[in-house]
Amino acid sequence: MNKKILTSLCIIAVLISYVVIRNLKRSPGYPELKEWKEAPGEIIIKKSGKVITLKNKEGKWLINEEGYPADPALVLNIENTVKKIQITDLISSQGYYDKYDLTPENALTISVSRDGKKLRELMVGKKSSTNRHSYIRIDDKPEIYLVSETFDSVMNKSADDLRDRRVMDIKKDAIQSFEITYRGITYNFSKITEEKKPVKPEKADGADKNFKNNDKKDTKPEKTERWVCKGYPQAPLSNESIENLLSGFNPLLAADYPKADRKSLGNPSGTVKLRAYDKDILLEIFSKGKDNKYAAQSSESPYLFSLEEWRAKKFLLENIENLKEKK
C-alpha cells in the first residue's frame, strides 16, 4: 500500500478515536456553556427572599441602591464561579426539584448579565452527599445537573459581607510625617536624613602606591534616614517599631461597617494624622463598643467603619516608650 495513503489512514483513525473518546466523556445531555470575555455589567443574587444587586459602574462594583463599594476580589470570585462551572453528571430531566432544594423558595439564584443581555443564570440547590458537588439548573431549563462546585463563596454572603474593607492603602515609605494624639498627649514624628562618613581603611605595610587614589573613591558620606519625635530629641526611636506601626495603613482594613450615626459617637478618643502623597490624611478613632471594636472614620472614606481592638490599640500610642529603641 502506498505510504502516503497509509499515513493518511492513520491520521484519520487517530482523529476518529479522539472524537469518539471526547463524546464518551461528554454526555449528549450536557449543554454547551461558553465563557464570556468582557466583564459583566450586573450580577443579581437571590436567596430566601433577599436580593443583592451588584452593578459595574466604570470598572467599580457597587452594592444595591446604596452604592456601597464591593470588594473586587469577592465579586470576581462570584463571576468566575458562575462562568467556569464544570458539569459532572446529568441527574434528571423530569424535575424532582424538591428533592434537590431547587424550588424558587429554597434555591440560590445567581444571574449574570451585560448590557441587558443575560450571560448565564444558575439555580443552585443543595450539596451532594460528599459535600464537594452541588445540584443546579441552568438558564431556566428543566434539567438538573451535578457540578464540581459547592458555591460556599456565594451561599452565605450578605450585602455587608461583600463590601470592600479597604479604607486606605498608604505605603509606609510614602509617609513623610505623622502625628498621634491620645489622652491629651500629642506626638509629632518626622524623618530626618543623616550623613555618616565611612571609616578610612588603614594603609597596610607594602601597600600599593596607588592606595591613596583608590581610597578617594570610597569617601562619599553614607546617607541614612531615621524617625525622630518632636520634644523628645534624646529618645532614639526604633525604626522597626515605627515601620510596624505604619504598616497598618498598607492597607487599613475595616472590620465591618456599623449602622451608627457619627454624631452619636461624640469626640474621638484619639487621632492619627499622616502626611503622604502631598496631602494630609486623618484617622479618627472613637471609644470601644460592646463588641470590643472601635468605631472609626477616615478622610479617605465617606463611611463610618470599625477596627478590631488590637488594630485600634496599635494606633493609639499611650507612651513614647513603646517606640523607643530597645537597649
164 within 8 A of 71, measured Cβ to Cβ: yes
Q: Which three cell numbers, joined as nine digits, stand for 238?
A: 526604633
Q: Closest Cα partner for 305 from 68, 74, 77?
A: 68
% the chain with pLDDT above 90? 66
Instruction: Work out the pLDDT band at 59, boundaries 50, 70, 90.
Output: very high
The answer, yes or no, to whether residue 161 has pLDDT greater than 90, is yes
Q: In this predicted model, what pLDDT tens digit does every residue of 179-209 receive, in sequence order?
A: 999 999 999 999 888 777 666 666 555 555 5
pTM of the complete model: 0.78
Q: Closest Cα partner for 254 from 210, 302, 191?
A: 302
The answer, yes or no, to whether residue 308 has pLDDT greater than 70, is yes
pLDDT for residue 163? 97
pLDDT for residue 21? 47
Q: In this predicted model, what pLDDT tens digit does every residue of 8-31 receive, in sequence order?
A: 666 666 556 554 444 444 445 688
The answer, yes or no, to whether residue 152 has pLDDT greater than 80, is yes
Could you write out the three-class secondary structure of the chain?
CCHHHHHHHHHHHHHHHHHHHHHHHCCCCCCCCCCCCCCCCEEEEEECCEEEEEEEECCEEEECCCCEEECHHHHHHHHHHHHCCCEEEEEECCCCCHHHCCCCCCCEEEEEEECCEEEEEEEEEEECCCCCCEEEEECCCCCEEEECCCCHHHHCCCCCCCECCEEECCCHHHEEEEEEEECCEEEEEEEEEEEECCCCCCCCCCCCCCHHHHHHCCCCCEEEEEEEECCCCCCCECHHHHHHHHHHHCCEECCECCCCCHHHHCCCCEEEEEEECCEEEEEEEEEECCCCEEEEEECCCCCCEEEEHHHHHHHCCCCHHHHECCC
The answer, yes or no, to whether residue 6 has pLDDT greater than 50, is yes
**CATH topology assigned to domain 166-197+220-323:** Immunoglobulin-like (2.60.40)
| Mean pLDDT of the residues in the chain | 87
More confident residue, 92 or 322: 92
| 322: phi then psi, degrees, rounded to nearest 5 | -65, -20
Contacts of 167 (CB under 8 A, 6+ apart): 251, 252, 253, 254, 298, 300, 301, 305
The answer, yes or no, to whether residue 35 has pLDDT greater than 60, is yes
- Over residues 145-152, the mean pLDDT reads 92
More confident residue, 198 or 285: 285
Q: In this predicted model, what pLDDT tens digit does every residue of 234-278 receive, in sequence order?
A: 678 998 999 999 999 999 999 999 988 888 899 999 999 999 999
Domain boundary assignment for the chain: 33-155, 166-197+220-323
The answer, yes or no, to whether residue 5 has pLDDT greater than 60, is yes
